């Protein structure tokens, strides 16, 4: 592996794991390596509230599994390619149980690799040090990755913006609204104000 490729954000799986372990968390978006800064406590508090609500949903429905700050890589077909061309670390994500089962059946050594499966839902919480252009870029990449549902939460504004695959319009919710899971999380709903309690 040449240093030029690693600098460009295209690297082998072994290089990706080594760099992640030695240099810390990073994402690869449009072949650009973007270090992930430590999150602030308020950011983590909002993420925890959403995670807990999704975990409770997971326990009630057994529809899938929720993860907290877990990286996933592209492409999904990791057994066919040893190259990592993209990676993301959402604050919270949810993957359906059937898709996880299929993934584990298909990837025999899945325990020894980073997750190479596109989540059904990702949640991004905006921190005070985040740039809105970067958040919008990441949201656009999630849609290009075929994430079905994206929630972008702004604790300062106390809003939640819903982006849905195939929907050109985004929906902005405030503290008087309720967010639902749609087809991705059937029967899930949560008052937006609870996220900022």
Beta bridge partners of 179: 190
Answer yes or no: is pLDDT of 3 > 70: no
163 in Cβ contact with 152 (< 8 Å): yes
Q: Which position has the higher pLDDT, 114 or 179? A: 179
In the prediction, which pLDDT does 169 show? 86
Residue 166 has pLDDT above 50, yes or no: yes
CA distance 104 to 110: 6
Task: Establish if 126 belongs to a structural domain.
Answer: yes
- Into how many domains does the chain fold? 1
Domain membership of residue 161 (yes or no) is: yes
Rounded to two decimals, what is the model's pTM? Answer: 0.88
Tokens of 122: 């990702």
Which tokens hold the place of 30? 């449009």
Q: pLDDT digit string (tens) for 70-109?
A: 999 886 544 446 788 889 999 999 999 999 999 999 888 8
Span 126-152, average pLDDT: 88
Q: Give the total residue count for the chain.
A: 197
Q: What's residue 11's pLDDT?
A: 87
Helical (H) or strand (E) element with 51: helix 41-61
pLDDT (0 to 100) of residue 42: 77
Is 29 inside any structural domain?
no
- What SS3 state is found at 68? strand
Specify the higher pLDDT residue, 132 or 59.
59
Question: What CATH number is associated with residue 54?
Answer: 3.90.1570.10
Are 149 and 93 within 8 A, CB to CB? Answer: no
Give the pLDDT band of residue 48 (cuts 50, 70, 90). Answer: very high
Residue 34 lies in a domain: no
What residues contact residue 183 under an 8 Å CB cut-off, 6+ apart?
A: 148
Q: Is the pLDDT of residue 1 over 50?
A: no
Largest CA distance in the chain: 53
User: Distances from the Cα of 84 to the Cαs of 10, 37, 153, in angstroms?
Assistant: 6, 21, 28
Q: In a 3-state reduction of DSSP, which class is residue 184?
A: coil
| Poorest-pLDDT segment among 54-58, 69-73, 189-193 | 69-73
Looking up tokens 């604050």 gives 91
Pair 74, 85: CB distance under 8 Å:
yes
Domain range for 59 is 39-195
């Amino acid at each position: 592996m040449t240093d030029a490729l690693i600098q460009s954000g295209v690297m082998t799986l072994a290089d990706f794991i080594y760099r992640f372990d030695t240099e810390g968390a990073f994402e690869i978006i449009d072949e650009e390596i973007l270090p992930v800064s430590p999150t602030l406590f308020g950011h983590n508090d909002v993420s925890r509230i959403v995670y807990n609500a999704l975990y409770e949903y997971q326990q009630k429905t057994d529809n899938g599994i929720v993860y907290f700050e877990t990286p996933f890589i592209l492409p999904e077909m990791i057994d066919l390619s040893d190259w990592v061309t993209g990676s993301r670390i959402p604050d919270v994500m949810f993957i359906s149980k059937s898709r996880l089962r299929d993934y584990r059946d298909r990837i025999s050594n899945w325990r020894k690799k980073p997750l190479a499966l596109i989540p059904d839902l990702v949640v991004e919480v905006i921190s005070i040090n985040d740039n809105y252009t970067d958040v919008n870029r990441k949201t656009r990449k999630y849609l290009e990755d075929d994430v079905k549902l994206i929630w972008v939460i702004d604790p300062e504004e106390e809003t939640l913006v819903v982006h849905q695959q195939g929907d050109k319009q985004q929906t902005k919710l405030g503290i008087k609204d309720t967010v639902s899971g749609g087809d991705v999380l059937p029967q899930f709903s949560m008052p937006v104000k609870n996220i900022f309690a």
